Structure 1
Amino acid sequence: MNKLTSLLLSFSFILTTACASSSGGTITATDKAAGKASIKEDLSAYRPKYPVAEASTATAVVTPTNHVNDQVAELMTAVSASNKTIRYAQGYRILAYNGSERETVMKLRKAVLYRVPEVKDYLTYTQPNFRLKVGDFFTRIEAQQVLNQITDLMPNAQIVQDQINIIKN
């Protein structure tokens, strides 16, 4: 019993001294008033110090020597011409319907065109299924915005990656 008591006392002593706060910090008056005892340590003595370089006030004016404006203009027209020939890109469409009921897909197509007239629809038939995809979107965010507008018409619609048509203006 004596050993157990001395062991318990020594354990409690170690526990209380291990949890004591370290010295070297200061408790501010506002912390005392608030009932908090937060310790703020000053570590500025241990931080490295570097000399501050003076900023130069005179800036040099750089004048271009080899102008390539004509070459850049030719390259830009070539890139523009090649971009005009691109008709397809990887993007997103909304898969609105995938099933075998023709009347359902036609009603759904009319409802989507009525709700979002600026979006193009793509109806395909691969026996025995009809597939209705809606829109040509470059980003998933654009597709999500349209999906939010028509989600009450088709709660099972989902966004799928697909090859989209690029609309030329």
Structure 2
Amino acid sequence: MNNRILNLLLSLLILISSACAPSAGKTTTDTGKFPGKEKVAEDLSVYRPKYEAPETTVAARVEPTNHVNRKVAVLMDTVASVNKNIKYAQGYRILAYNGSQRQDVMNLRKTIISRVPDVKDYLTYQQPNFKLKIGDFFSRMEAQQVLNKISDLVPNAQIVQDQINIDKSY
């Protein structure tokens, strides 16, 4: 039984080693890291497709027959007028304060305005709590950049989804 397994393994080893034999082709001696080894160099140019060079001709200018410029301009004006009426969108704000101390929220608001003057703040009061939200951001990344600037002032501030005002000044 062991003799049969040994013969089977030996024949399998011979079969695998003969399958890995190098292919026939031109050989060149290699002077690289392993002296005495030969490298096979194959010429694959016979398999590459050959194309004739095209004749250079000047193409005639083609004038468009259906002009849609006026139609596109009217459509774009319609879209622009609809977009001018949009005032709100879903976006992100930074919730900087949520508490009942009026003086604390006012002092925090002043320091945040001095740190990031270009960002608008929203102070709301729903009895008995004040909420201070900062900014109108379309993406969470924009909000995170401003949050990084004020994180030392308000370590517990967080980014919340909210309805934001769209700035039409541009």
Q: Same fold (TM over 0.5)?
A: yes
Unpaired stretches in structure 1, ≥5 consecutive residues: none
What does 1:27-38 correspond to in 2, within 5 Å? Answer: 29-32=31-34
Q: Name the aligned partner's letter for residue 64 of structure 2.
A: P
- Structure 1 length as normaliser, TM-score? 0.69
Unpaired stretches in structure 2, ≥5 consecutive residues: none
Q: Name the aligned partner's letter for residue 108 of structure 1.
A: L
- Identify the residue that residue 130 of structure 2 maps to in structure 1: 130
Q: Is the 8 A contact 1:24 1:41 kept in 2?
A: no
**CA distance in structure 2 between the aligned counterparts of 1:162 and 1:56, rounded to whole angstroms:** 63
- Identify the residue that residue 155 of structure 1 maps to in structure 2: 155
| Aligned-residue CA RMSD (Å) | 3.9
Cα 1:28–1:156 change in 2 (3 A) is farther
Among all aligned residue pairs of Structure 1 and Structure 2, give the percentage whose two residues are the same amino acid: 55
**CA distance in structure 2 between the aligned counterparts of 1:165 and 1:114, rounded to whole angstroms:** 22
State the 1:31 CA deviation: 4.0
Q: Which string of whole-angstrom CA distances, capped at 9 and with x for unpartnered residues, describes residues 64-116 of structure 1?
A: 11112222221122111111111011111111112222222111111101111
State the 1:149 CA deviation: 1.1
**CA distance in structure 2 between the aligned counterparts of 1:154 and 1:53, rounded to whole angstroms:** 72
- Identify the residue that residue 22 of structure 2 maps to in structure 1: 24
- Runs of 4+ aligned structure 1 residues displaced above 3 Å come to 16-19, 25-31, 39-42, 48-62
- Structure 2 length as normaliser, TM-score? 0.69
- Identify the residue that residue 93 of structure 2 maps to in structure 1: 93
**CA distance in structure 2 between the aligned counterparts of 1:100 and 1:51, rounded to whole angstroms:** 82
Q: Is the 8 A contact 1:89 1:165 kept in 2?
A: yes
Q: Is the 8 A contact 1:92 1:162 kept in 2?
A: yes
